[in-house]
Amino acid sequence: MTSSQDPAPSPPPAAAAQLWGRTALVTGGSGGIGSAIVRALAEQGATVAVVDADERARGIAAEVGGTGVVADLTEPDVAQRIVDQVVSETGSLDVLVNAAGIQVRTPAIDISPQAWEHLVAVNLTAAYRLTQAAVKPLAAARGSIVNVVSLSSDRAVAGIVPYGATKAGLLQLTKGLAVELGPQGIRVNAVAPGYVVTPMTAEKLADPEFRERVMSRIPLGRLADGDDVADVISFLVSDAARYVTGAVVPVDGGYSIT
């Protein structure tokens, strides 16, 4: 029995600080999913470097007490510069989340050479270069990497075939790097979101026929938001997932099993 004099119950100790003292670098941190990842990791106590071509990175970083880095990840040598900046400012790098991405909606045969090159550069090469640049500090920290892939990484989705090809490459990179970097103590995992309402998908999901078709295949009966994806990433980079590597976790409300 409690009386009005009893002190209020205290919150569970350190429940919100699984990543206390750790530094995370999140690309695409201005985006719908990336900004949710930034906030989720910061809530767990991490210091977050928010990397994006969009200026909003600075404001989102300021909101969580982190560092905003406005950069185009397709520029040469940018990956090493970003990693060096983050390590010199914070002293370490424990987590790398590759969430920057673009989508081109076109029949595969019609994509221009420039659009193809740019798609590969953002969705695949940038994640690879950042990983190369980050291996040394990640190994020192026994840290981890999470790549954001897609439902289209391992299934044919008409209209976004080139996008799917880049995400398939990123999925395979995830598994291969998990094998090669595991002995250095670095875990490498991926999340495969289903349909998340963000600037990338807003227009397509506003089409009632498309939306209805998608919804009919989601057992959980709703589209995702960025937090649905971010919470799974928080788990994957935490010590609770210390024996998980090379995993690709669908975060799709069950879409991929229908």
Q: Which stretches of the chain bind ligand NAD, using CB under 6 A?
A: 28, 30-34, 52-54, 72-74, 99-102, 122, 148, 150, 193, 195-196, 198-201
Residue 147 CA to residue 124 CA, distance in Å, equals 10
**Least CB distance to ligand NAD at residue 219 (A):** 17
Q: How far is CA 103 from CA 50, 67, 111, 121, in A?
A: 21, 27, 12, 12
Residue 39 CA to residue 43 CA, distance in Å, equals 6
Comparison of 40 and 141: residue with beta carbon closer to ligand NAD: 40
Which member of 163, 195, 243, 255 is catalytic? 163
**Least CB distance to ligand NAD at residue 165 (A):** 12
Comparison of 141 and 230: residue with beta carbon closer to ligand NAD: 230
Residue 224 CA to residue 197 CA, distance in Å, equals 6
**Least CB distance to ligand NAD at residue 185 (A):** 26
Comparison of 67 and 201: residue with beta carbon closer to ligand NAD: 201
State yes or no: is 163 an active-site residue. Answer: yes
**Least CB distance to ligand NAD at residue 139 (A):** 25
Residues 6+ apart with CB under 8 A from 109: none
Comparison of 90 and 201: residue with beta carbon closer to ligand NAD: 201
Q: In what order do the strands lie in the sheet with 67-70?
A: 67-70, 47-52, 23-27, 95-98, 144-148, 187-193, 248-251
DSSP calls for 79-121 = HHHHHHHHHHHHS---EEEE-------S-GGG--HHHHHHHHI
DSSP calls for 194-213 = --B-STTTHHHHTSHHHHHH
**Least CB distance to ligand NAD at residue 96 (A):** 14
Comparison of 101 and 143: residue with beta carbon closer to ligand NAD: 101
Helix/strand/coil for 129: helix
By annotation, the residues acting in catalysis are 163
